[in-house]
Amino acid sequence: MSDKVRVIGAGLAGCEAAWQLAKAGIAVELYEMKPKKYTPAHKYKGFAELVCSNSLKAERICSAAGMLKEEMRRLGSLIMECADIAKVSAGGALAVDRERFSDAVTDRIKSEPLITVIEDEVTEIPEGNVIIATGPLTSEALAESIRTLCGEQLYFHDAAAPIVTFESLDKSKVFFASRYGRGEADYINCAFDKDEYLTFYNELVNAESAPLKEFEKEHFGKDGFKVYEGCMPIEVLAKRGEDTMRFGPLKPVGITDPRTGRRPYAVVQLRAENSQGTLYNIVGFQTNLKFGEQKRVFSMIPGLENAEFVRYGVMHRNTFINSPALLTPCFNMRQRGNLFFAGQMTGVEGYIESAASGIMAGLNMSRLLTGRELITLPDTTMTGALSRYISDPTVENFQPMGCNMGILPELGERIRDKQLRYEALAERGLRDLDEMIKTF
């Protein structure tokens, strides 16, 4: 068996997989179709481009995302290393300057002697040792090759939020604060009173959406789109009910408007896009509205009346396979052991989840090529729990899953306080991971 591995896709998962293989002394050919060809959502030339939010979720180890990131660090994650280099203030979350982050990942990958970068589109699944990490925007030709192999392919839709300039905000209306005073008040808040909110709501639910392409129209769900709940277009969410946004991304809890000394009726938060604090994204405002409608409706948000939009929200096709029927918990095919999948195509939802799957695919491919037993992490770890979820053949109506404490096995003791329970879950998982790492 040749020791060379072809990794297809230089997103977060592909870069993690290639990095794990190179660390194990295995030569890698990393294929990336940029800059020759871009998807509708990708714009930057670098690797590991973040196309939706620039947040890698909560930092607290006693949160699901914080626990997963700590596991990744202990497994030698390239993505976590580069995220720490490119981080920007975001309260209790780890957010990054997306271009600086991409540049850091790209530089590390290209400077690794065992990784050869090939800038070309792969249109068919190669023979030999392969990791497919092409992400939710896999090119049509390769997607067709995957469909032929798998016999099944599923679609959903994902959406990105608009970005505005800091200098264009009305500073007399917006204010810095984090919910309940957590972090360093890194979020910019735009507070609605009831009348302002209702006017905004009515315009939003009646705004005109961008038309879908023909290949997308057959994949509608009950809300008009088949999407992750976590990336629900704001206009689709709003149509579920007048107060739905107020219990979601516009929830006012934990916020006090300094102008009134009271909690707002609703609040929109903006989060820094870069380390300079010159650009901010509108949190939770993934959208498929026409660009002109975005400008008109989102300018009704208090403080954004004269906002300069440097990027409008976009919606695009995403793809994932029916992993429970196809993959083992080691991320390789049940019917072809030297073909691995990694990233959102496997049904893990989110940036860090994708990167974690790349670590496991790379780690297990290296073990396969060196004659060692493939491994899955303990199900008490977040990585192990996600691996088992996406490969569990008993799962019906498979849908993507992000990290959450609910997929971990229960503790032996009952702890009523949620914070203390989460701390105990995280401590148990990390302890079990450390013991497992000793056996690598």
Write the pLDDT tens digit of every residue in 256-314.
Answer: 999 999 999 999 999 988 777 888 999 999 998 999 999 999 999 999 999 999 888 87
Contact 21, 28 (CB under 8 A): yes
For 163-316, CATH number?
A: 2.40.30
Rounded Cα gap, residues 87 and 104, in angstroms: 11
Q: In this structure, what DSSP letter does residue 411 have?
A: P
Confidence bin at 158 (pLDDT 50/70/90): low
How does DSSP assign 56-84, residue by residue? Answer: EEE--TTSHHHHHHHHHHHTT-HHHHHHH
The reported pTM is 0.76
Average pLDDT, the chain: 90
Sketch the domain layout of the chain as residue ranges: 5-153+321-437, 163-316
Sign of CA dihedral 152, 394, 358, 363: negative
User: Which residue type sits at 297?
Assistant: V
Which residues have C-beta within 8 Å of that of residue 358, sequence separation ≥ 6? 12, 13, 14, 15, 16, 17, 20, 131, 133, 342, 343
**Residue 435, phi then psi, degrees to nearest 5:** -65, -40
Q: What is the pLDDT of residues 51-95, one digit of tens each?
A: 878 999 999 999 999 999 999 999 999 999 999 999 998 888 999
Which residues have C-beta within 8 Å of that of residue 144, sequence separation ≥ 6? none
Q: What is the pLDDT of residues 330-349, one digit of tens each?
A: 999 999 999 999 999 999 98
For residue 38, the model assigns a pLDDT of: 85
Contact 318, 294 (CB under 8 A): no
178, 95, 66, 74: which is closest to 422 by C-alpha? 66
156, 161, 159, 285: which is closest to 227 by C-alpha? 156
- Give the three-state DSSP class for 188: strand
CATH topology of domain 5-153+321-437: FAD/NAD(P)-binding domain (3.50.50)
Q: How many separate helices (H) and strands (E) can be counted in the chain?
A: 13, 16
Q: In this structure, what DSSP letter does residue 227 have?
A: B
